Amino acid sequence: MNIRYKNNVLIRPAITNYDKFKFIRIIQAGAERTGSTLLTNLLYGFFLQDERIHWINEGITDYLILKTHCLDLDRYSSLFDQYKLYYCISCRDNCEEIDEKYKNNINVLRIDYNDILETTENTLNNIIDEIYNKFVNFFPVEAIPITTELVIKQSMLHRITEMNNIYSIIKDMPFEYCNEFYGIRGHHRNRIK
């Protein structure tokens, strides 16, 4: 897809009477410990910064972005065939993966854990830049928020920064404690499998 900008604003083809997300659903699927919560929050930062994470069992008809740890894409494709499904898959070495037949599908975007792992070399700003570019080149142009690249990246950064701030408050709480908005738990990170 050839993405074009004019004055730092994304240019789209003209579409009339298009209900932006009526027939589109984004499913973030990834085994546990693959960065799935971070990837889900990056998606929400890109599309819907002020909306809490929704799990797939909450109902696909009501929400644009849904999270699951189930990697059975065949199941979702048949259950939700009335939607154009876009899968964002978080993956990591030694973790369960999606079926081989899906790995090169045009509606499947695989994000490796190391690409979203914040380190001294891979800063949060770098992660935002890279993931933003992957999202813009993956999702249909009509689904991308109508605003500037800078605003979208700031929204993503704000979402992740706030998630990290909340985690610093709850990190010593039991794993059973869950912040519903960001989908993070006490002892969520760096726990032993």
Domain parsing of the chain, residue ranges: 20-185
pLDDT at 58: 83
Is there a contact between 85 and 76 (Cβ–Cβ < 8 Å)?
yes
pLDDT at 17: 29
pLDDT at 104: 85
pLDDT along the chain (193 residues), means of 10: 45 40 88 93 94 87 89 90 93 82 90 95 98 96 89 96 93 88 78 49
pLDDT at 19: 56
* Domain covering 20-185, topology: Rossmann fold (3.40.50)
pLDDT at 22: 74
